[in-house]
Chain A
Amino acid sequence: MTILKRGLSRRRVLQTGMAGIIGSGVAPLVFTKGAWAQEFCNNPTGDTVVFGLNLPLTGTYAEEGADEQKAYELAIAHLNGEGDGGLLNVLQPSALKGNGILGKKVTYVSSDSQTKSDVARAGATRMIERDGAIMITGGSSSGEAIAVQGLCQEMGVIFMAGLTHSNDTTGKDKRRYGFRHFFNAYQSGIGLAPVLGQSYGNDRQAYHLTADYTWGWTQEESIKAATEALGWKTTAAVRTPLGATDYSQYLTPILNSGADVLILNHYGLDMVNSLTQAVQFGMRDRQANGKDFQIVTPLISELMAKGAGESVKGIFGTSNWHWNLQDPGSIAFTKSFGAAYGSPPSQAAHTAYVQALLYADAVERAGTFYPPEVIKALEGHEFDGMGNGKTLYRAEDHQCIKSVLVVQGNESPTSEFDVLNVVQEIDRDTVAYDPAIFGGDLGPAEPVPMCA
């Protein structure tokens, strides 16, 4: 009876309970700030941390994928303190120490996304579930980027997008776990239209050929809006399948359509093929409406320009970055990349490299790999020294706001790499826009989904 009385006393219950909690080792977790939240997908427990590289090594954007792979390998070497350090030396501000990330050596696994959204998503799933990737990065198509960042949101893994230019990536399809350094189609329109007006006049008839997926649609929409604001009229906008090879059937209707400008909303091999074939059809030697017929490629890269050869000379487009910029960041990156691979880096390589470093820097600043803390460190982060001037990772849509380049095919190249000239650098205030215009919802960072 006495025993029963003692067992029922409130003091005794509290004492026993507290002793049990302390004894079972729960106390450190309860009293350590944030410690309850440290269970997350692929929390690195060993002395290494794995990046998942999702790269289009085959398919329409394979050249960009191959260059991205080189850039990631270089970035990982620099993060681990190997090589000349590249952009680690010029990133401002920087928490990177060149000893991996939070002291853990960076390694990577990779997957060929084949420039296909479903394959990219399957590859990312495999790298997260099987290989324990802490972060997924890469891709050269907006279809892939949107598919993979949706997956990453579901699995609680951060996605640092590679080359993706659709407005939707940080617009209607934006996700809390997805971040884009590359610029977008809307910014291409803002940057390119004044140069087109200046060079070709304000009375033009444009004919669009557009890759039939999210990127093509948004680029067509943005360039149409920007050129129509100049006074241009749109004669027709025709969709072509991604990965089409023979464009003759799409090019012949242009010849007598009344158009005097052809706008190619194509990228990668699609653009190389469509531009080359348009030139073969004699479009650049034609006159229409009493004016010289012109071709415009709103998004262009040095890899495509190299592939298109003679056809690209004099053609206007926009780029995220170019290797012959003369700021310390661009010089440092071109030097590192050129020394490692014997060719200058493409814009795809640049954005891939920068994304890898920005993720690592955010983890260092957060002091943890816990995704919500890393997201907070990236959102609204302002940095400089990466080749695009002062850059803001905008919190509202995870879009980097930075300067944009208007480029033109070089009429007299001095080497096989000297294929584009930077005509104008449009400052970041000019290409900034209200993130609300593209809608979308980032979604929550917490609770963090568990991937397995």
Chain B
Amino acid sequence: MFEVIFLQFLNGLDKGAAYALIALGLTLVFGTLGVVNFAHGALFMLGAFCAVTVRMFLTMETVTIDPEKLSPWGAPLEVREPLVQAWLGDFGAVLVNYSVPLSILITIPIMLLVGIGLERGIIKHFYKRSHAEQILVTFGLAIVAQEVIKSVFGPNPIPQPMPTDLRGAADIGAWLGMQANVITYPVWRLIYFIFAGVVIGGVFAFLQFTTFGMVVRAGMADRETVGLLGINIDRRFTIMFGLAAVVAGMAGVMYTPLLPPNYHLGMDFLVLSFVVVVVGGMGSLPGAVAAGFLLGILQSFASMNQVKAIFPGIDQIIIYLVAVIILLVRPRGLMGRRGVMEA
């Protein structure tokens, strides 16, 4: 039984890491700019498609016709040669194999530009508008983004293989001195969890230990006073929007081997992420992270057959059930601040 519970706990951490990463970016934007950003899921999806694009370039092929060989339908055989391998040899093969983690290098500047462009181009005009209008405009942006992706990449998911060295499962039980093959867990999921931990830790460290972060935190607490001190807080908040987009984009890139991305990927995560943010408390970064892990772990335990035998279907509703209970008991969420989104 211990193994089952431990595995579900690992699963919960893995799911929670994904929820926490998206909710973190969402909360960063809300906490700094006060904007309820329904386009945040689309930023996650755009990051995933950065990985798709990088792989498309790395796997470009030259096609030649071999008239001496025939395809199964009797046509001259098309011989395909990978271009990158032809140019770079074994190093090209390594690039293709590691295309997903390598995509992060491209994704960071792209998502930073997308985030800053979005904020300066559209979202800044809605700071003084109601939350309802902000939701409408960002939701519209999300739909535009997904339709653009759909028209370019098609409607169907595009699988992104993980590096061959990182496939398969790690024998965690053996690491802990238990019998072999009792507790095994996919290597890439462990990497995703570690990656999420590093990104979340990095964001917190950036806000906690840098001057830039200190100014941003001061601005989150009292925007007007910081402005009166002669600090251009708007510019810093714009950069924070870019940072939130980068976090969402990187989360999307690393998730592609676990779930082949399609244009709808962002919407699938958006609703869950909002539940996570609401449960954590609007505007609270630690709340978003804590709620992400809490809901991930609860969802995982609710999927155990023993639990479902008592509460059939609980795995499908647990997240929403917890959200309802938290909102009834603590209307501001787990770590919500007084006055945030309160009339």
Q: Which A residues have a C-beta under 8 Å from some C-beta of B?
A: 57-58, 62-63, 66, 236, 238, 241, 245-246, 248-250, 252-253, 255-257, 269, 272-273, 277, 279-282, 285-287, 307, 309, 323-324, 334-339, 342, 344, 417
Q: Which B residues have a C-beta under 8 Å from some C-beta of A?
A: 3-4, 7-8, 10-11, 14-15, 71-75, 78, 155-157, 159, 161, 167-169, 181-186, 188-189, 258-260, 268, 299-300, 303-305, 308, 315-316
A324 contacts B74, CB within 8 Å? no
A249 contacts B155, CB within 8 Å? no
* CB<8 Å pairs between A and B, sample of 27: A58-B155, A66-B156, A238-B308, A245-B259, A248-B15, A248-B189, A249-B8, A249-B11, A252-B4, A253-B305, A255-B3, A256-B4, A280-B169, A280-B188, A282-B168, A282-B169, A286-B181, A309-B161, A324-B72, A334-B73, A335-B74, A338-B72, A338-B73, A338-B75, A339-B73, A342-B75, A342-B78
A253 contacts B304, CB within 8 Å? yes
B155 contacts A62, CB within 8 Å? yes
Q: How far is the CA of A393 from the CA of B168 in the complex (A)?
A: 46
In the complex, chain B residues whose CB is within 8 Å of the CB of A245: 259, 268
B155 contacts A339, CB within 8 Å? no
Q: How far is the CA of A241 from the CA of B316 in the complex (A)?
A: 9
In the complex, chain A residues whose CB is within 8 Å of the CB of B316: 241
In the complex, chain A residues whose CB is within 8 Å of the CB of B161: 309
**Nearest Cβ distance between residue B263 and chain A, in whole angstroms?**
9
In the complex, chain B residues whose CB is within 8 Å of the CB of A257: 305
In the complex, chain B residues whose CB is within 8 Å of the CB of A338: 71-75
B268 contacts A339, CB within 8 Å? no
Q: How far is the CA of A262 from the CA of B161 in the complex (A)?
A: 23
**Nearest Cβ distance between residue A6 and chain B, in whole angstroms?**
78
In the complex, chain B residues whose CB is within 8 Å of the CB of A307: 159
Q: Give the contacting residue for A249; candidates B71, B78, B156, B315; CB below 8 A.
A: B315
Query: How many CB-defined contacts (below 8 Å) exist between A and B?
Result: 106
Q: Give the contacting residue for A334; candidates B3, B72, B300; CB below 8 A.
A: B72
A281 contacts B186, CB within 8 Å? yes
B300 contacts A249, CB within 8 Å? yes
In the complex, chain A residues whose CB is within 8 Å of the CB of B268: 245
Q: How far is the CA of A272 from the CA of B3 in the complex (A)?
A: 27
B184 contacts A335, CB within 8 Å? no
In the complex, chain A residues whose CB is within 8 Å of the CB of B260: 269, 272-273
Q: How far is the CA of A338 from the CA of B70 in the complex (A)?
A: 12
Tell me the nearest residue of chain B to A284, going by C-beta: B168
Tell me the nearest residue of chain A to B73, going by C-beta: A338
Interface of chain A, helix or strand or loop or mixed? helix
Interchain residue pairs A-B with the least CB separation, the first 6: A338-B73, A282-B169, A249-B303, A280-B186, A252-B7, A282-B184
Further pairs besides A238-B308, A280-B186: 7, Cβ < 8 Å: A236-B305, A246-B259, A252-B7, A256-B4, A282-B184, A286-B181, A417-B72
Q: How far is the CA of A269 from the CA of B260 in the complex (A)?
A: 10
Tell me the nearest residue of chain A to B313, going by C-beta: A239
Q: Give the contacting residue for A337; candidates B73, B168, B183, B188; CB below 8 A.
A: B73
Q: How far is the CA of A280 from the CA of B75 in the complex (A)?
A: 37
Find the residue from B72, B78, B186, B268 having the highest chain A CB count within 10 A: B72
In the complex, chain A residues whose CB is within 8 Å of the CB of B185: 281
Q: A248-B15, A282-B168, A286-B181 are in contact. Are A253 and B72 (CB under 8 A)?
A: no
In the complex, chain B residues whose CB is within 8 Å of the CB of A256: 3-4, 7, 182
Q: Give the contacting residue for A344; candidates B73, B168, B303, B308; CB below 8 A.
A: B73
B169 contacts A339, CB within 8 Å? no
Tell me the nearest residue of chain A to B258, going by C-beta: A246
Q: How far is the CA of A427 from the CA of B260 in the complex (A)?
A: 38
Q: A241-B316, A248-B11, A248-B15 are in contact. Are A280 and B74 (CB under 8 A)?
A: no
In the complex, chain B residues whose CB is within 8 Å of the CB of A238: 305, 308
**Nearest Cβ distance between residue B288 and chain A, in whole angstroms?**
20
Q: How far is the CA of A281 from the CA of B14 in the complex (A)?
A: 13
In the complex, chain B residues whose CB is within 8 Å of the CB of A248: 11, 14-15, 186, 189
In the complex, chain A residues whose CB is within 8 Å of the CB of B181: 282, 285-287
In the complex, chain B residues whose CB is within 8 Å of the CB of A281: 169, 184-186
Tell me the nearest residue of chain A to B18, going by C-beta: A246
In the complex, chain B residues whose CB is within 8 Å of the CB of A269: 157, 260
